[in-house]
Structure 1
Amino acid sequence: VAKNIVDYRKENGNFKNRKELLKVKGLGAKAYEQMAGFLIILDGENTLDNTIIHPESYKIAEEILSSVNLSLKEYGKNLVKAKEILNGFDYKNFALKNNYGYETVKDIYEALVKERRDPRDSIQKPLLKSDILNIDNLQPGMELEGTVRNVIKFGAFIDIGLKNDALLHISEISDKFIDDPSKVLSVGQIIKVKIKDIDRARERVGLTKKGL
């Protein structure tokens, strides 16, 4: 099932929400119930998908936020401010008043105030060129290092220090034929790349590893 999840992401791109997991081959309702809280959806449609809170407990999480006058949108937009507002929240009294289990409410509250960091942020960083601050600083043929952020069926997205990750198409990964990018690239890997083309209007950068 884990392999099917990875294959589905290669075919369809990043998951937008946890419910999309139900579209994965071999992942039924029971498996979803057991694993949903452990699979974090980064930059998805629902901020709570980026926490360890199980979907079955989203209702309680939203009630906790509502009790301190925080909307889900506000919570997702500014965690630092949300944590300040949630600081000192009396979850024991909240559980008692709403007839919820104390431990359940405690776990949900602690998940709400936990940092929503991408675990890939702790991975070793590439040596980025100090003069590259935005896409206007780039020129075709320029060589630099980048970090593989996502490997998909048609290539990989590489962090080269811009706002948006750059695309390394499968046809540009090697001078040899590559049928599956995941055979030669992995998330967190630091690689040397060369700027192939730049679409400044759409802020898209194409990369190549050919000749490197």
Structure 2
Amino acid sequence: MDINQKITEELGVKRWQVDAAVRLIDEGSTIPFIARYRKEATGTLNDEQLRTLHERLTYLRGLEEKKEQVLGSIEEQGKLTEELKNQILAAETMVVVEDLYRPYRPKRRTRASIAKEKGLEPLAVLITLQKTDRPPEELAEEYVDEEKGVKSAAEAIQGARDIIAENISDDADYRSYIRSVTMKKGRVISAAKDPEAESVYEMYYDFEEPAGKLAGHRVLALNRGEKEKFLTVKVEAPEEEILRYLYKKILR
């Protein structure tokens, strides 16, 4: 990514202005100093523009470092395909990079990983594909193995379900859709841990607002109230719509 060019386009200024500002920042100049004493060098970029430039410069450089780290980790695992590499390189946010990396991130042992160790991944694939007329219970009987810790068909099915659930959770496209639809149609809800307690967060003791309309200062207040243990905060997602989407995508 040409970081300076991207910032140039975002700010709607000249490339030489961004190059000059970045050079001054890299030399150790502060934003107030550049805004006040280096106007001629940056073509009179104002304080607000310079602060935005600095924030984006820091973020985009961090993003590029993250991409290199992720690519290196996946390559070490021998799982880096050309398609995945291109997706990571094209990503414009940390969230997208993290979503793409999620299936390859070294994990602690999970219920899904334990189920895989028990040899239940093929059963999970069969159930997901839905290409057999045999009921899952009948399929699962073939995976009962006392030595591997699978004592019954019900346990085999539960292990397969754990694998399927983790696979869905790790899919970058699904995560992107769920995040997007939750921002559009979800709601942020907060309640008091102790309704009788006096605090500066009392207006949030019984609060609900669409996630997409929640102002930044309210987000900060909710975060503080939750951290200080006055509030419980949750995001209510449009579950039925998400389930319809997943059903259509996975069982199509």
Give 1 or 2: higher strand fraction: 1
Q: Is the TM-score greater than 0.5?
A: no
- State which structure, 1 or 2, has the greater radius of gyration over its C-alpha atoms: 2
Q: TM-score, normalised by structure 2?
A: 0.27
Give 1 or 2: higher helix fraction: 2
Q: TM-score, normalised by structure 1?
A: 0.31
